[in-house]
Amino acid sequence: MALEDAQNEIDAAFTRDNLKGPGFENTFAGATSFLRRRYTKDLAQADVAVTGIPFDQAVTNRPGTRLGPRAIREASALQSPDAPYGWGFDVMSEFAIADYGDMAFDYAKPADVPARIEAHIAGILAQDCAAVTLGGDHSITLPILRAHVAKHGPLSLIQFDAHTDSWADDDDTRVDHGTFVYTAVKEGLIDVTRSVQIGIRTTNDDPLGITIIDAPEVHRIGPTATIDIIREVVGDATAYLTFDIDALDPAFAPGTGTPVWGGLTSPQAAAILRGLAGLNIVGGDIVEVSPPFDTSGATAIAGAHVATEILCLWAYPRR
């Protein structure tokens, strides 16, 4: 059946008539959407919308993450059309997943972008649809959190990152990818007692009450013990998961703006994400994939896998 479909399917991003089911289109051909899902703005039949925020004007180092959503979509075509390995169910067949496309904005008015992101995500959530977002730099997570909190109330934050992104900034007019956690805590968006940051390996003297499992600790105790800590901290709280690709060591994800050595390996990240199955994760994002520095495509491939894992984490308790 797969061979027959591969011989006949093309441009399924536009031609498939169902939001559910695998896609066997040739990897090297056709229009690329995330996991070959159908592009649509009509979410009436969708359970989850994957959307891109191609914004990178808040970075402190190398730019290029505005190209991240496009690269992640293309890399997702490399994944098997079969059920994601190790989950025991096929999220693509059991749930209706749409590619909602990217958010439009005026690049010459960066100060307007956060409010636009919040409205964009709120518009998805208002249709009783979950949102998984492809970034873009990490500043996009703050308005995404605002939209989710408006629907779900204060959230637990599960953050994979080399940086805490909690540097103090009381200037409300600034848009900065290194301060979104500080602002989220200040606004009461996240419950710090139920929040955790994994993979940290840069200095910030004030953790704001958030549990930190830094990269050396992950290496020392291993994924299983790391999972146990995360699950204990988060418990049954409603959670949002944000994954900065620089949580991975540059050997596994060189295509990012602020790489830091000593990070997580791909196997560690995969195991930890898989170990969070059953937590009440209502949404998530993958950010900071910068294709200009991703000469092999490995970073975009990792980003596409992370986005797929977020979809599975959202779906797992909702089957």
The pLDDT tens digits for 112-165 are 999 999 999 999 999 999 999 999 999 999 999 999 999 999 999 999 999 999
pLDDT value of position 172: 75
Euclidean distance between CA atoms 64 and 228, whole angstroms:
35
Q: pLDDT band for position 170 (50/70/90)?
A: confident
Euclidean distance between CA atoms 8 and 63, whole angstroms:
39
pLDDT value of position 120: 98
Position with higher pLDDT, 277 vs 30: 277
pLDDT value of position 174: 82
Per cent of the chain over pLDDT 70 is: 98
CATH code for the domain of 290: 3.40.800.10
Coil, strand, or helix at residue 238? strand
The pLDDT tens digits for 26-60 are 889 899 999 999 999 999 999 999 999 999 999 98
pLDDT value of position 4: 57
pLDDT value of position 9: 84
Check pLDDT > 80 for residue 7. no
CB 23 within 8 A of CB 12: yes
pLDDT value of position 2: 58
pTM given for the model = 0.96
Check pLDDT > 60 for residue 1. no
Domain count of the chain? 1
User: 99 φ, ψ to 5°?
Assistant: -95, 110
DSSP 29: S
Position with higher pLDDT, 206 vs 145: 145
Check pLDDT > 60 for residue 95. yes
pLDDT value of position 176: 83
Euclidean distance between CA atoms 30 and 279, whole angstroms:
36
Residues forming a β-bridge with 208: none
Check pLDDT > 90 for residue 290. yes
Q: What is the mean pLDDT of residues 280-306?
A: 97
pLDDT value of position 247: 98
pLDDT value of position 113: 96
Check pLDDT > 70 for residue 5. no
Q: What is the mean pLDDT of residues 275-294?
A: 98
Per cent of the chain over pLDDT 90 is: 86
Per the structure block, which two tokens stand in for 171? 């200037």
The pLDDT tens digits for 224-276 are 999 999 999 999 999 999 999 999 999 999 999 999 999 999 999 999 999 99
Nearest alpha-carbon partner for 59 in 238, 171, 179 = 179
Q: Which domain range does residue 205 map to?
A: 2-318
Q: Which residues contact residue 26 at a Cβ distance below 8 angstroms, ignoring those fewer than 6 apart?
A: 6, 9, 10
